[in-house]
Structure 1
């Protein structure tokens, strides 16, 4: 069949150079690496959604290369041909059930961001193949197309693959092997920086903590990483809980108390398909300082709020392209935010009550953390009979102590130890604290002020 060329058409195709530079511009190296790990975890969820204990992801990073290897199932040759190496997700692409990938650019963006040569090997059921790309050669590669009797040269966006055998494979199990070499100078310098590796380790342990808690083993340069779990008290106090389904998105809001520790751990944590996308947020985006809710204050350091948003199709989730932050304008997020604000209004009165303890407040918070039973982020999400819609139940607070503290102040001063002990013995005080109270009462009595 012959196609007619329309002389009135102005060509609007992107160039490969422009496309590569644009998709890699607004993402950091650490986020690009996390994109590749997300792909591995997506594979893990297709194998055993509830338990990852037999699965691993190995990461090797140095100034000369970057490597990721997993046993999370790999992907088929059909997926590679039609979708995995496309720049963007085609309309006809199958749904990515439970994935955090949304636009079909994560793997390519990461590979092009890191270096000028990369190898991707996949072992999946009956398929075992490899794609090797030299970026400079691919960037300049062209092909000829003929329309009617006219031939023209255009950019060739395609990649080539080769079937491989176990003898030449980097994989012994179904999974994926990725290696990037010819690293860009700035990337090579980063990969040789211990501070960068420490930050990357911290990112993985925080942002992928849910998958780590489910048992997947992630190692970085031979060091096994552990998840930085989020916990909520569930004994003397019980968390606020509400859950349901709206617009094909399952939601669950859990809010309550956590250990004092680092104030930076206080706030809202939002997960989209088990990926942490908003961490310890205390801004207006999560309701603080809006609708009669006060701005976050250190008095609220024990607050922990977890939001789980899950959908078979990622496009339904309020997820940013970099997977950091959420789209606060989305209908599903605005719907869930109502429950988040309800939780804050439900819990903040308890914090105000604790504040009335004055100087004893922090001691009370620490003691509560030491004695409370705690539930993990995985336990919060898993359905259990105890998790029915409910309001926050506060732990008991000594009301008499609060009443006593309300109109009192603390007086303190230093004295020589030997003299203080003599005074304590002479006054028959049982402790130095009692000595202080005795001397204050003695002064009031001597000055005739005790009844004023």
Structure 2
């Protein structure tokens, strides 16, 4: 029989906070805080947008001049666990409204969050988070932080936000190389935003982007471009090859493998693992032959919850059905490039030109130079029309050939064939010979 009794299911502050901070590292916490400033940037139109991170002896400060937060959002949404400020016209990074609070509790025991939106200047603060976690809730059951009005500012002051975390945890203080780690992560994760003009600073050091988004494109070499929409997501896939990666001794990050972005934040950098389909579902496994391959994938949505990205934003949810659909399209675009690399076996420019001169093949010489011309660098963001991959024929005149025949166990041959993505036993022999020759023989 129904009755007027009920069982209390309210969460305990301390337990809830301990759970959400348990499995996240300090660098990811700081990146979550930076994401909030990046979201403010995407919603603003200002000159010289900046995000500054300052590591103090007993403080961490993150400042941005990207417009501030409205008083309504500050008091009702920003500090709610699970509160997400919705903006239908922008693609933001915050997912579940947890990152700001989780980072504060993970890093220190006190904080001040100061923001000015051009009208209201407020400071949300708490001086003892350890005590706050054990404090009884207010009478209405809500969890609250203190708020005070900020000083009156000049009307010309542009909107800003600044978070100051103090009384740092001992475990945080022991992270002696944390600043260097954050510098590296910023140059990677926010590379697209930096290329668009958002500047990042760590302890007054301006961070440079890891790479730009220009690729070779001309009448001889044309990247493939695929645009599609699926379940509220807009996706752009660009695939090409980078000739300079063919024999580079040290690989240039962002210039090979798959580079995957979600709402413009880099999630996977130069990925050559199963996460982007290598060696999965009949796709070829990655091999050094494919270092010149380069793919860029941009997945965007106004509803950040639809993105196939983990809550820590350092990987993709590979079981997501929409991502599986995108992955299939990625490999549809990659296949012609990878096939070209297998059949043409790109050589470095010096060798290619030398062979072309020896064979008097002027077209090879011309194509190789044009395909590598810096004047033909184009931004992939200017490529907004569907296009198929096209590349020059860079095979020099056939030299005198000697036939080689040998036998090996079928199981071993099949395994090598899968690794190389070779379509025949003959191709296995050719590729393995070529790989050995490139590694061990002097062609001088």
Q: TM-score range by the shorter chain?
A: 0.7 to 0.9
- Equivalent of residue 199 in structure 1, options 181, 205, 211: 181
Per the alignment, residue 20 of structure 2 pairs with 23
> For the Cα contact (< 8 Å) 1:318–1:328, is it kept in 2?
yes
Deviations 1:172-194 (CA, angstroms, capped at 9, x unpaired) = 4201011011000111121xx2x
> Cα offset for 1:6?
4.0
2:166 counterpart (162, 170, 181): 181
Residues in 2 aligned to 1:362 and 1:113: alpha-carbon distance in whole angstroms: 57
2:147 counterpart residue number = 161
**Contact 2:352–2:396 (CA<8 Å) still a contact in 1?**
no
Q: Deviations over 1:330-377 (max 9, x none)?
A: 23212211211112211112211343869958999x98985355657x
User: 2:425 aligns to what?
Assistant: none
- Equivalent position SS for 1:75: coil
CA distance in 1, matches of 2:322, 2:52: 35
Instruction: Output the CA distance in 1 between the equivalents of 2:15 and 2:54.
Output: 30
Partner in structure 1 of residue 67 of structure 2 = 73
Measure, in 1, the Cα distance between the counterparts of 2:108 and 2:62.
14
Local SS of the residue matching 1:23: helix
Distance (Å, rounded) in 2 between the aligned partners of 1:159 and 1:362: 69
Task: Report the TM-score, using the length of structure 2 for normalisation.
Answer: 0.78
1:448 alignment partner in structure 2: none
| Among candidates 346, 350, 368, match of residue 336 of structure 2 | 346
Is the CA contact (8 Å cut-off) linking 2:87 and 2:302 kept in structure 1?
no
**Residues 242 and 27 of structure 1: is their aligned pair in 2 closer, same or farther, counting only changes over 3 Å?**
same
Alignment length, in residue pairs?
389
Runs of 5+ consecutive residues of structure 1 not aligned to the other structure: 147-153, 415-431, 434-452
Partner of 1:112: 105
Structure 1 segment 32-181 matched on structure 2, within 5 A: 32-48=29-45, 54-89=48-83, 95=88, 97-134=90-127, 135-143=129-137, 145=139, 157-166=143-152, 172-181=157-166
Query: Take 2:138 and 2:34, find their aligned partners in 1: how far apart are those partners?
Result: 37
Residues of 1 paired with 2:314 and 2:343: CA distance? 35
Once the two structures are TM-superposed, the CA of residue 413 in structure 1 deviates from its matched residue by 10
CA distance in 2, matches of 1:140, 1:105: 19
Structure-to-structure mapping, 1:279-318, within 5 angstroms: 279-318=269-308
The whole-number CA distance in structure 1 between the counterparts of 2:317 and 2:136 is 39
1:111-167 superposed Cα distances (whole Å, 9 cap, x missing partner): 111100010001003111001112123223224648xxxxxxx6x511121111147
d(CA) in 2 for partners of 1:363 and 1:121? 64
Q: Note the residue ranges of structure 2 that are not aligned, 5 or more in a row.
A: 356-367, 403-429
Do the aligned partners of 1:71 and 1:174 also contact (CA within 8 Å) in 2? yes
Query: In the alignment, which residue of structure 2 is the partner of 1:333?
Result: 323
Once residues 375 and 328 of structure 1 are traced to their aligned partners in structure 2, the CA distance between those partners, rounded to angstroms, is 33
> How far did residue 44 of structure 1 move?
0.9
Rounded Cα–Cα distance in structure 1 between residues aligned with 2:397 and 2:284: 27
Deviations 1:239-283 (A, max 9, x none): 111002222211100011124144473211111111111221112
- Higher mean displacement: 224-233 or 205-214: 224-233
Q: 1:344 to 1:93 in 2, by over 3 A?
A: closer
- Distance in 1 separating the partners of 2:384 and 2:399: 32
- Give me the whole-angstrom Cα distance separating, in 1, the residues matched to 2:370 and 2:284: 24
Deviations 1:378-397 (A, max 9, x none): x323xx4x542122112330
User: Normalization by structure 1: what TM-score?
Assistant: 0.77
The answer to whether the 8 Å contact 1:53/1:214 transfers is no
Counterpart CA distance in 2 for 1:179 and 1:137 is 19
- How far apart are the structure 2 equivalents of 1:369 and 1:141? 67
Q: Hey, what's the Cα distance between the residues in 1 that align with 2:116 and 2:82?
A: 23
Instruction: Find the counterpart in structure 2 of residue 371 from structure 1.
Output: 373
Question: Shift of the alpha carbon at 1:329?
Answer: 2.2
- CA apart distance, 1:95: 4.8
- Give the aligned CA root-mean-square deviation in angstroms: 3.4
Q: 2:42, 2:90 within 8 Å by CA — same for their partners in 1?
A: no
The alpha-carbon distance between structure 1 residues 45 and 263, as it changes in their structure 2 partners (threshold 3 A), is same
- Aligned mates of 1:25, 1:62 — CA distance in 2: 24
Q: Distance in 2 between matches of 1:396 and 1:243?
A: 27
Structure 1 residue corresponding to 2:385, chosen from 385, 388, 398: 388
CA–CA distance in structure 1, aligned partners of residues 441 and 109 of structure 2: 68
CA contact (8 A) 2:118 2:157 kept: no
